[in-house]
Every structure is written in C-alpha cells, then in structure tokens.
Structure 1
Amino acid sequence: MKFDIVGRIQNMRLPDGKTAILYSIYEAVSNSLHSIEDRFGSEAAKKGWIHVSIATDNDGDVDKISITDNGIGFNEENLESFETSDSRHKYVRGGKGVGRFIWIKTFNKIRVDSVTKNGRAKERVRFRFMPEKPNSIAYKRVTSASGEDYETTVELSGLRTEQKGQIRVSSYLKDLCLHFFPQFITGRLPKITIEHGDEEESLNDFIAARVGNVTSQKVSIEIGGVSYGFDFHHLFVSGTMPPGVKNSYMLTGHGRLVGDPISLAAKFDLGSLDGDKAYSLVVTGSYLDERVDQERLSFRMPTEARKLLETAVLKSAESFLEDHLAVVREKQKNTVREILFEHPQLATQVADLDEYVRQISPDMDREKIAQNLFVLLVRDEEEVRREFQKLCDLDNLTEEARERAEQILAEAENQEKHRLAELVVKRHQVLEIANMLLKFEDAEVGTYAKEQAIHDLILPMGKMFKSGDMADHNLWIIDDALAHYGFFASDKPIGAFTDAKDGKKEPDGIFFNPLGFCEEGRQGTITILEFKRPGDERATSDPVDQVLNYIEKLRDSKARGFDGEVIADIGKQTRFECIIVCELTSAVRKKLERSLAQSPTPDGEGYYGWSKEHNAAIRVVSFRKMLRDAEIRNLPLFRRLGLTSPSSRAKMRLARRLAEKDKIRIVD
C-alpha cells in the first residue's frame, strides 16, 4: 500500500485562523515537554524550560513563531520518529505522531535547530521539515556542539494565507493557560515564557497568581464491567482566568486539555460564588489517555461511558462545593416558601422542604421552581383523577378498593383546600394593593391614584366578560354576586352590546342575567356600576343623575351577548340596581342628600334610595367602606392562614415609602 503524505495532511481535521496557529504552538510545546521529560525525568517540571517567541509583520499577522526548550533534543531516535508518519514512539505519553502535520497545514516553512547528544558526543542538528519530498528531513546539517548546552528551537514561518489572523500576546498567554492548565495543576509543567515584541510573560506566574489550593480525589468508575481509576482535581481560581478555566471541568489526555471545557456555571449557580473567584475541575485518568483522537479534539468513548463519567464529575463537584451549595439551597428554600405562600395549592407537592430542595438543581431560580411545582401538581391531579375514574363505582368495591377510593377522595379534598388557600392569599394581596392605590401617592401635594387604576384592579376597562371569567377581575371587592352575572361589560359604549339609539355612553360596568339565568316570565335585574375619582372633593358630575341617565338610554332596546343572542329585552318593567363608588366628601354628601339616594346607611359610609320612575335601586358606598367590607367578609379566612390585615399592611408599606424619601428607617 502506497502512502500519500500530502493527502494525509490535507485530510486532517483542523480549524482555521487563530485556533489553527494555537494548535501549532500546542503541539510544539508538547513536543518540548516530552523532550524535557526524556532529559530530566521526575525533575522535568523543576529543571526544564520552554520559551515561545511570536513575531508579527507590519499588518499584525504572524510572521514567525519560535519554540525553544532545554530538552534532550533531536537525537537519532527522535529524528527517526519525527520522519515517520503516525509514529508510535511517544504513544505511551499521548504522542500521536501527527503533531508536525498540523504545522505543515498551517505554515509553509518549518526549521529545526537542535543541540543533542548522539553516543558520547554532542551535536548540533539543523534541517528543514518538508514532508512533500521523499526525504522529508531536508538540508540537514550536523556539526559538533562540544561545550554547548542542550537547546532545541522549532521555527514556524510563512503562515498560509487561509490561516491569517491578528494576535495579541495577552490573548495567547490566556490560550496557553487554558490548554496547559491541567499540567500546571498536576505539577508537571516546566517554566514556560512567551515573548511578543518587547513583552515577555511567564505562563507559570500567570497561573500561580490566580489559583488556590488543589483538592485531589481518586474516583473509581465501572465502565463495561471494568473498573477504571480517575483523579479529580478541584480548586478555586481567580475571576481573571480565561473563561474556559472558570466554572467548568476539563477532561484531559496525558495531562493535556482535550476538546473544550464543559461549563458547570448554571448547574451549580456558580455565578453567585463569593468574591472574585470561580471553580475549576481537572479530570485525569488512563481511560481518557487511551481514547484521545488523533487531532486531540475529542475522545473515542461510548455514550454510556460519557454519562457515567459526567455523573461522577457532578457528584464529586457537588461534594467539593458543599459550602457554596448550602447557601444556594437556603436561598432556594426561601424561594419555595414564598411560592407556597402565594400558591398554597402547591404545598401538596412539598412534603419535606429540605428534601425537595435537595432534589432540585441548584441552578433553578424562582420561575423554574414554580414551573416544576406546577408540573408536579398537574401530574398528581391527573393521577388522582385517573385512579378515581377506575374506582368510581363505590357500591361494588372490594374492601381494599374502597379504602383506596376513600384515600383518593381525601387527596382530592386536600388539593381543593390548598386551592382555596391560594384564592385567599390572592384576595389578601389584591386588597393590600387596593388600599395602597387609595392612599396619597404624594403626601406633599396630596394627589390620589387615578380612577382608572382602581377601576382596572376591580374590573379591567374596555372589555366584555361572561360568568366564567373569574380570574380576569376582582368584582368580589364590591359584591361576590357580581361575578355570577351571565354577561357584563366594562367601559364599553352602550351601542357595543345593545341596539340603543344613542349608544355612545360608557358605563364603568353593566351586568346582565344574574347568576347566568333569568326567572321564567320575568326580566332579570340589570346592575350598573359607576366609579368616581378617589379623593375628589367635588364630584365632576352628579353620580346619581349619571346612572339614571344610563337607564334612560338603555330603555326600549335589546341587549345581545357574545354570539349575538338576545340576553335582555329592556323596557319600563326592567329592574335596575345601581352601585356608585365614590369619595364621600362634604360636598358630595350634600349633593346626595338632595338626590333620590338620600338615605344614609347606619355606618355613615354610604347612601341608598329608590327611583320609582326608573324602577331602580340606588346604592352609594365610599371607597373606604368598599374595602373595609371586603376585608371583613374575608377576614376569617385571612386569620386562618395567619395573614395580617391588608389595610394595616398597606399603611406600613406607605409609611416605609415615605420614610425612604426622608431617609428614616422603619422597623416592622
């Protein structure tokens, strides 16, 4: 079989641009590392050195890269290996015999100048590497090097056009840091310096100044029935380290990084680590050494092996990050408590708070935790529903099945209790907001919230509703019965739902068909709701006259629902109930006392009356009475859940807001 070396080079899997240049440096430095190990053995890291010099042209492109070391050099054995494609000379150390092909794919010229020892004599060997020629060691010269120190320089020049890209020495320092970081951590990295222009920096010093103590752990993983040993090296590093080193784990082959680091930042919420520090994990082991591909871009290992390794990595990292995760878990527990307070029905999914938090991922924030709990709730409810359907015939059940059916009913009842609790919490929050809206927005100028704000909170403006749209409004604040009308509209022209001749008027709220049906032979009561601006000393118009005017516009018309069906035939016999919510100032009270709604309520916070002509009952309540009555109706439920008064909470929040303006600290 003939071997086409040029074709072999062209078919190699290599990136372009800066990354290709980096790989050329990586391979040259790795060769130097092997050469230093051959010379110094166990003292290689202590006695060896490597110097990388990068020269650029006027355009900032790479002109020449020189890698010099004090290793054993190109003796006859190494020279023969160098000339042999896919040499196995350094196989046990991870050498693939293809590193110099990366140089050829990236640069036009490769020169070698090496002081080595053959036999007893020192020699200086110089040559050009030209793999396209039959004898790839071209222009070889061997001279005596008596008295000279071991020193080998590999010079890469003539960057190929397709690989051109500008570089910065600081960038290359960080790139080399990432690639050789594992060897530094394991104590195998000799002194490496990088020179660019007038700058020279030490890779070792750069790393040493940015790493903490290393904690190593031996881990055994059974893969395919065979137990393999791995070493996990954990440490904290500075936030000024290259991105790949920070908050990630690195898989290595023969001590060198293979492929890209794998981020753990999200998995363990590492962005919240104290101070300017990050986490790093280096994984080494013979299993990885034996499975590095030729280009050192990945490993050849089964999917199952990758999963087992990843599981072991996450378990080991979690153990090392125990203190950090304790803080994260505590934050998550507080988050879960807040979610359960706002959504009590989710409590059925958290039997043990500590256990639940231990089972969720540390990276789960409030939104993800809420999503998880709701998914669990839906699954739980569906399971209960399916089981109950199977056991729905309670009269013909075995004793065991009957007990299970009763258990399912108890679970369903428990879920409903938690749903009711959520409704109570939501009502408490809405009342607190409503109380805030009715306080002064600015205590100095005495302005109140606009009518639209309170209107939208109770009944969103510009919409039409049906009885099932319970989640879209808070009519219970005024009267729970309002939510059970068959059809109602908010701030919509009368002409939008009736055929009235003058349909431009827009009641704040109008309700048809109480409880979703009409008594046979009778027209259902129509309710009209009108809001006036909170804090108005003088009503801009007579509110009683305003609602009676609506009735006059509606008479002798037909009201239609969403599908165009007639839902009310409005005539003189139609009964109306009018509810007016306004600020009961002295001016407004005088106006009401001269109106059809002149009778005061016993608590003095409202008025009522009757218009025979309009067949209408009129009820006027103050904003304060509306919220107070809503709170009183719900207070037993609030107390059952341990909730304080919404109006008291609103007062405290308002006081805190004012205190912040005055830089005064308020303590609950």
Structure 2
Amino acid sequence: MSKMYAEIKRIVDEDISPRMTQIDVINEAITNAIHADATEIVCELNTTDNPADDGESVTPAKKVNTIRIIDNGSGLNDANFESFCKYRSDYKKDLGCKGVGRFVYLKVYEFASFNSQLKTEQEERSFRFDLNFDSDNVTKKSEPISVNRTEVFLSSLARSYLNADRHVDRRIDLDLDKIKEEVLINLIPTLFFFKKNGKNVQITFVDKTTENKTIITPEDVPNFQEKKFFVAEKTGVKTEFILHYFITNEPGKLYSFYCANNRSVREFSESDLKFTLPNGYSGFMLCESQYFDSRVNNERNNFDIFPVKIDLFSTLSWEMINEQLKSVLTTLIKEGIPETEKLNKAKIKEIQEERPYLVNFIAEEDLEIAGFLEKKKIIDNAKKRFDNAKEKVLTSAGKKEYTDTELNEAIQLAQNELVSYVHDRVQVIDRLKTLIDKKERVESIIHSLFMEMRTEDNYYAVGKNNLWLLDDRYTTYSYAASDKRIREVLKGIDEENGDTEILDDKPDLSLFFSHNPNNTERLKSVMVEIKPFDYASKPDRKKFAGIQQLLDYVKAFQVKEKIEDVSAFLITEIDEKLEERLRGDDYTPLFSTESPIFHRFYKESGISIFVISASTLIKDAEARNKVFLDIIRNQSKIQNMLQ
C-alpha cells in the first residue's frame, strides 16, 4: 500500500506552476543531490533530434529530451526515502527543503526513474515515480557497493511540453554554456552556503550527442562579502536582512537576487529595484532573510510580498525592503566604483533635460546612485513625490494661518508647476518644428492647439491655452467663443454684405477672451485666423484682400461681443509681394528671430492686426520659452551637483 499520503495528480496540478521548465527540473535534481551531501554531480543531456543539414538552411538548434543526474551523495536510504514519500516533509527543513520539489519532475515529465546504490546498506534500490506512485513498489537488491551512486533519469516529456500534433515544443536548447550559466545563477546561494561550511561541490554537464563537457567548480562561486541591514515594521519590530555581494572591475553582467532557503528566487528588477553596473564591472548580489524563507512559494520563483501594501501576514512590503536595501547599495557602490559621481551627474543631466520640473523632487537616495538606477524608475519616484506634494498643499488650502514650512512647500510646488508648464510648451514647439521641417501641412494641428473643434456652447472655459505661441501676455485668457458662436457672427456679416461665399469658405477663426464674455466690462480679446499653407500660391492681391477681410471679422466681433480691445493674428506664409503690399498699407515690421512680424494698429477702433508666418511663430515662441528654461536650469538645486 502506498505511503504517499496525498493525491499526487492534485499536487502537480494545483501546487506546481505550469511555467516550470527543464531548467527547473535540473535545478531541483541537482539541489536534492547537494542536500544529500553529494560533492560530485553529473548532468547528462541528450536529444532525439536529428537535424539535417541540407547545405542551404541553418541547422536548427538541438533540443533537450532526456535528463540524467548522477551523484555520489547519501542516496535514497531509509530516512531520505521516507521523506521522499511524505508530502511537505519537515526533513532537512533547515536546508530550505519544502518537501514539494520532486513534484516539479512530474510537471515536465511523465515519470522519473530512480536508482540508488547504497554503500552502508550494500543494496541497490530502484523505483518509478509517477502520478500513480506506490511507495511499496520499490525493487531492492543486495549488491557489493563500494561507493554511493544515485541516478535520476527523465526521458518521457509530458504532452503539455512536447506534442507534435499540436505543434507544442517547450524543450530547452541543448546549449551547455547557457544551461551551466542558468544553473549557476540559481544555485549560487546554495553553493556559496556549502562552500562557506567547507563543502565544495563540482557539477559536470555533458552533451551526450558529442560528449562535450562544461563544469561548475568551487572557483565559479565568488568569495562574497556581506552587509547586514534591518527593516522596521510599522509596529517598530526590526527584521534582519543580509546582502552578500561581490563586485569586480572585470567586464560582465550583474546578477542580483532575493534569495530564500539558500536559493535564488527573484531578481531585484522584478521587485522594482532596477540598477546596473557600468561597463567594465560585473558581480553578484544576493539578499537573504528569514522573512524571505517564510514567504517563498512552493516553486521558489516568487514571494508572498506586496509591492506597497502590508497586512498581518506580509508585515513588510517591497517598497519598505528596497528602501533600506538601496541605502546599503549606495554605500557599496560609492566605495567600490570610483566613477560613481560622474555617472550620477550624467543621468541627472538627462532627467533635467527631459523633465526639468521633477529635478527638485528626486529622492536623495536616488541621487546618490542615479547613475546605476533605471532612469524611468527615478522619474516615477520623483513624479510620485511631486504628486504627493501637490496633494499635501491642496489638503491644507484655506487655512487662516500657515507655518513657514507650509508656505515654503506651497512656493516650491508653484515653481515646479510652472516648470512643468514650460516643459509642456517645449513638447508643443518640438512637435510643430518637426512638422514644418518636413513641410507637412500643419494648419489643422495649429488650429487644434488654439481651439477645440466642433464646440457648440456659446462660450467655454479653456483652462490652460496655447496662446503663449503668440505672446505670453495671453496665457491668462481663459474663455473662448465656440464654433457655433463664430458661425452666428459670420452669418451676420454675410447678410450685411450680401457675400454668399463667406460661410462656404469659412475662415479658420478662433476667438479668446480675457474673462467670461458675459461680463463685458473691460473685455479684451485675441482672434487667430490660420490661412491654408497653399495660400501662398494665390495672387498677392487676393491674399491682401483676405487680410482686409480679417479686419471686417474683427470689427464684427468687436461690436457683437462688446470687446474693448482686440488683437488679431493672421498666420500665413509671407512672400515678397505680400510683404510689399503690407509695408505699403502702413504695416510695420516688428523684430523677430526669423522673418519680421507685420503689425498695424487701427487707432479709432482700437484693433491691432498682426501678420506672421508659421515658422516665425514657432521660432519666436521657442526663443521666449528658452529664457524660462535657462532660468529654471540655473536655479535648480541639482545645478550645484552638476557643476
């Protein structure tokens, strides 16, 4: 009668992740051998593939079919076999054994064949482990045994991993170097732990199709240093963590893992701690704790730890752990990498160029190792601090009295909101510059920047507008006339002049007000008309007539809306003939960074007309915006660090 006191199929289906691969099988088998005190382990890999080389196509990579693990450990003696037959056995729990690892075999393979030659017992024991495993069905044979030898052989892949009919093939490549690297990364903590206790392990990988070999030796396991740190729970209780680290100035990769039960479980980057080492450096970082040991899942590829939230079971979050871990990393990196300051400056300068409004909210701990952190993560943290600062100021708004700290926080927030606004303007300018450089038609885009399309209410609040493209004086103009309102006024002009073409060829108009036009007292306005860019091909006489027509529109709106002061901007292409007509009609050229802006003031009506090309509009706006950006960059707290 079987002594496996659990339903094996249910364990495999419910407790073992479907993401398991042959690498997990190899890791599990080798780990079990190490825990059985093996010092020499051989992993033989074979394939049934026979890739044909037709001389034309690339030969496909060989895939692993069979896995054979041979070791010189204590084998399946009575104590080990009893533990094998018991689900979630506590045997060797001090080594991190959870009592479920062997079920990984049955997730990937149909069965595993075990053979163990035991020197002490002078006996050879064999059995087949599958979904119908019976612990009584073990073959025992007395034999003269001189050394312990245990073999696990897996040959029949589960149909969920290899099924030709359904075109399923999840086998790994038979690439010894790659397999060695993956196994080493996973087992570094285990090998390090045993090496520290005087037990050196050698693991040989063999490609049975070629007999090529590669070996993990004790020399592949770095001599780690360690640094302890503590993370405090909300209750004040402190939990100990240990960071084992090894950094060398040799080219290579950085491997960084959270570990449990002396095994690599999860990369730092998977828990939102993304950092790298500069070119010419490589190393390992392994963070372990009893807290991790108690919260690792059965497959040892994740933890029951929340990113931010905590509860009665998960009393620490990744955010809390990483905050302290990052502090330790800062000290180690500063001590071990002389280029730290230079790399930090370069990364901060990148962020300052991209997000100048966030530089004052970059956390001090991020500044210390900015050159090694992912830029997006630094920006996300700064954005979170920025939003928290805004929320704090808004929460305390309306108080009768404010402390000096509260006032300073409000002032800093206002300054950075302004920086954010200026930065948004850079995006608008860059987009328009690109379109004009590519000679794209941008009339509709410019119109959308100034005015929403197809609006029906008479007036509406626009909030932030883009009239700064014309002049920064107009940034406070917060109301606009709708498309519906503009059509009504144009219809009036049509009826008065008997001109039936105006509505059919409606000018591209936008009209903005200094305040709600329902209150006409001291009402000012800005009108923008955008002529099609092919307008330049029309006769100059007709183009100039269009400018005169704009004056009619402005006068009509001035009367209809009771506007005290109005400025109108005509955005069009200005050629030499149009410029000549403008000068002849008392239009004055104003200074700009490129072509002149032409202006005429009609004293009796108080109307100003400006005629400007799209390229001049953008370049002038860029020049004005650059003044703000230069001030921002020079006054930032980061500037001192960058000098």
- Within 1, Cα distance between the matches of 2:304 and 2:441? 68
What is aligned with 1:282? 286
Task: Determine the C-alpha separation between the residues in 2 that align with 1:454 and 1:124.
Answer: 85
What is the match of residue 190 of structure 1?
A: 201
Secondary structure at the aligned position of 1:19 is classed as: coil
CA distance 1:628–1:124, change in 2 (3 Å):
closer
359 and 549 in structure 1: CA distance in 2 versus 1, 3 angstrom threshold: same
List aligned pairs for 1:146-225, cutoff 5 A. 148-158=146-156, 164=162, 166-170=171-175, 172-186=179-193, 187=195, 188=199, 190-200=201-211, 204-205=215-216, 214-218=224-228
How far 1:196 moved relative to its partner?
Answer: 3.5
Partner of 1:368: 380
Q: CA deviation at 1:275?
A: 2.8
Q: Do the aligned partners of 1:267 and 1:363 also contact (CA within 8 Å) in 2?
A: no
Quickly say closer, same or farther: Cα 1:374–1:339, change in 2 above 3 A: farther
CA distance in 1, matches of 2:127, 2:626: 93
1:112 correspondence with 2:110: no
1:53 corresponds to: 44
Query: What SS is found at the alignment partner of 1:264?
Result: helix
- Aligned AA (1:334): K
Alignment deviations for residues 4-24 of structure 1 (CA, whole Å, 9 cap, x no partner): 627443343453778375555
Code of the residue aligned with 2:126 in structure 1: it is F
Q: How does 1:57-136 map to 2 (within 5 A)?
A: 57=48, 64-73=66-75, 90-94=92-96, 106-108=109-111, 110-114=113-117, 116-118=119-121, 123=122, 125-128=124-127, 136=136
Question: In structure 1, what is the equivalent of residue 243 of structure 2?
Answer: 232
The two structures, once aligned, show a CA RMSD in angstroms of 6.3
Paired position in structure 2 for 1:252: 260
TM-fit CA distance, 1:154: 3.7
Q: Could you tell me how far 1:256 is from its partner in structure 2?
A: 3.6
Indicate if the aligned counterparts of 2:363 and 2:381 stay in contact, CA closer than 8 A: no
Q: Alpha carbons of 1:466 and 1:328: their partners in 2 closer, same or farther (altered >3 Å)? A: farther
Identity of aligned residues (%): 15
Q: Distance in 1 between matches of 2:430 and 2:21?
A: 63
Which residue matches 2:138? Answer: 138
Match of 1:15 in 2: 16
8 Å contact from structure 1 (residues 491, 506) kept in 2: no
The question of whether the paired residues in 2 share the 8 Å contact of 1:291 and 1:299 is answered with yes
Distance 1:267 1:203, change over 3 A: farther
Partner of 1:659: none
Q: Cα distance, 1:507 vs. partner?
A: 3.3
Q: Deviations over 1:330-383 (max 9, x none)?
A: 345435644785x5xx79x66x98588469994453753663364145224314
Give, in angstroms, the shift of residue 178 of structure 1: 3.8
Question: C-alpha deviations, 1:534-569, integer Å up to 9, x for none?
Answer: 9969963344432444667999xx979xxxxx9559
CA distance in 1, matches of 2:618, 2:231: 67
What is the aligned length?
577
**Residue segments in structure 1 that go unaligned for 5+ positions in a row:** 38-47, 392-400, 443-447, 561-565, 645-668
Distance 1:589 1:159, change over 3 A: closer
- Superposition TM-score, scaled by structure 2 size: 0.63
2:398 alignment partner, SS class: helix
Distance in 1 (CA, whole Å) between partners of 2:77 and 2:207 is 30
2:491 match: secondary structure: coil
Q: Map of 1:335-354 to 2, 5 A cutoff?
A: 337-338=352-353, 343=357
Distance 1:637 1:87, change over 3 A: closer
Please tell me whether Structure 1 or Structure 2 has the larger radius of gyration of its CA atoms: 1
1:124 to 1:334, Cα distance in 2 relative to 1, 3 A? same
- Of residues 597-606 and 196-205 in structure 1, the stretch that sits farther from structure 2 once superposed is 597-606
Contact persistence 2:63–2:172 (CA under 8 A): yes
Contiguous gaps of at least 5 residues in structure 2: 51-61, 163-169, 306-312, 635-643
Q: Distance in 2 between matches of 1:520 and 1:88?
A: 84
Distance 1:386 1:325, change over 3 A: farther
Q: Could you say if the C-alpha distance between residues 69 and 355 of structure 1 is closer, same or farther in structure 2, counting changes exceeding 3 Å?
A: closer
Match in the other structure for 1:263: 268
3-state SS in 2 of match to 1:303: coil
Shift of 1:415: 6.3
Shift of the 110–405 alpha-carbon distance from structure 1 to 2, 3 Å rule, reads closer
Q: CA deviation at 1:68?
A: 1.8
Q: Secondary structure at the match of 1:261?
A: strand
Greater RCO, CA 8 A, separation 6+? 2
Find the counterpart in structure 1 of residue 465 from structure 2: 472
Aligned twin of 1:43: none
CA shift at 1:71, angstroms? 3.3
Q: Deviations over 1:501-560 (max 9, x none)?
A: 5222333546587865599999999968576979969963344432444667999xx979
Letter aligned with residue 471 of structure 1: K
1:273 is aligned to 277
Q: 1:582–1:622: 8 Å Cα contact kept in structure 2?
A: yes
CA distance in 1 between counterparts of 2:182 and 2:630 reads 62
CA contact (8 A) 1:332 1:357 kept: no
CA contact (8 A) 2:117 2:124 kept: yes
Quote the residue 2:637 is aligned against: none
Paired residues for 1:419-458 under 5 Å = 452=443
Shift of residue 88 of structure 1?
5.9
Aligned residues of 1:424 and 1:637 also touching (Cα < 8 A): no
Preserved CA contact (<8 Å) 2:244 2:287 = yes
Cα deviation, 1:587-621, whole Å, max 9, x if unaligned, reads 44654576xx3586899985758799xx8978566
Q: CA deviation at 1:142?
A: 0.9
Residue by residue, what CA displacement relative to the aligned partner does 1:410-467 show, whole Å, maximum 9, x if unpaired?
A: 8767766776787788889989999x899x969xxxxx99784996598569677958
Q: Greater shift after overlay, 355-364 or 7-16?
A: 355-364
Write the distance in 2 (CA, Å) between the matches of 1:282 and 1:293.
Answer: 18
With over 3 angstroms needed to count, the CA separation of the structure-2 counterparts of 1:99 and 1:317, relative to structure 1, is: same
For the pair 1:540 / 2:540, whether they are aligned, the reply is: yes
3-state SS of paired residue (2:138): strand
